[in-house]
Amino acid sequence: MEPASTGLALESVTKSFGGFIAVNDVTLSFPAGAIYGIIGPNGAGKTTLFNLLSGFLKPTKGRLRHRGQDITHLSPEAIARRGVVRSFQITSIFSNLTVAENIVLPLQRRDRGGTGFLRKSNWGKRYGEEIDDILRRVHIPAEWRDRGASALPYGLKRSLELGISLAANPDILLLDEPTAGMTVRDIVKVTELIGQLAAGRTVIVVEHNLGVIADLAQEIVVLQQGQLLTRGRYDDVRRDPRVIDAYLGTKGRHAHA
């Protein structure tokens, strides 16, 4: 099978908000089975691109394909059911629920379709092992399982978000700034974790932390002002004068983001 047909692709995709063009005629494919890094200055259109790929926004122009099929007009739920799952730049944890309950919601959603919701019935019996397995995979200690998610330290909250995404068993995982706001120690842990979760999947990760991208991604996509500036291997991309201008020119703004 053609690799491109097994992955995710944008064909001449434009997204305007009123008169403002956030994503400008982007053609891009993500063949299955690799880790891709998306970089670019603040406002380059990275999150908008994720919203388009996951169906939360519809393109003004152009098409989206998954495994060669046109998914342009599918709902976010239908796209998620196809195995394309995103995490959010802003936290998606329900702080009024326990750690385990946060994982049950996407498990139920996966099994039932539509939105997950908690029944008092014995989901623990049905999903208990799966929950434990997911917590193990994202390295959340078992003693956190039935405690309120709001009490988790920041690094473990981000791990829980990965667990929530993983519960849907995605075949393509979109991660928007998974290390944002983390300490250096947590960044190292989460980077390693993402590398592990990527086995057998396609991962597309937006990151301002170039060290994370350099460690993880086989291929880098650079966006600037809604346009595709370039794509390629990290070592080639980082030497590209256009990338240095576009990206490093605004580094001061990212450094403390």
Give the binding site for Mg ion (CB under 5 A).
Answer: 46-47
Please give the biggest Cα pair distance in the chain.
59
**Nearest alpha-carbon partner for 102 in 126, 134, 80, 78:** 134
**Phi, psi (deg, nearest 5) at residue 166:** -70, -30
Provide the mask over 74-103, with x wherever binding to ligand ATP is found by CB under 6 A and - wherever it is not.
Answer: ---------------x--------------
20 touches ligand ATP (CB under 6 A)? yes
Give Rg (Cα) of the chain.
18
Q: Is 178 in the site for ligand ATP (CB under 6 A)?
A: no
Tell me: does residue 154 bind ligand ATP (CB under 6 A): no
Q: Does 174 bind ligand ATP (CB under 6 A)?
A: no
Q: Which does 19 bind (CB under 5 to 8 A by kind): ligand ATP, Mg ion, none?
A: none
Rule CB under 6 A: is residue 46 a binding residue for ligand ATP?
A: yes
* Residue 230: exposure state from Cβ atoms within 10 A (0-12, 13-18, ≥19): middle
Closer CB to ligand ATP, 89 or 91, in the complex = 89
CB 114 within 8 A of CB 77: yes
Q: Kindly state the helix (H) or strand (E) to which residue 108 belongs, with its residue range.
A: helix 99-112
Does the protein bind ligand ATP through residue 256 (CB under 6 A)? no
Q: Considering only 43-51, 112-120, 136-144, 163-171, which stretch makes contact with ligand ATP by CB under 6 A?
A: 43-51
Rounded to whole angstroms, how far apart are CA atoms 8 and 27?
11
Q: Which is nearer to ligand ATP, 72 or 227 (CB)?
A: 227
Q: Which does 27 bind (CB under 5 to 8 A by kind): Mg ion, ligand ATP, none?
A: none
Any contact of residue 42 with ligand ATP (CB under 6 A)? Answer: yes
Does 47 sit near ligand ATP (CB under 6 A)?
A: yes
Q: What phi-psi label fits residue 25: left (phi over 0), alpha (psi between -120 and 50 degrees) or beta?
A: left
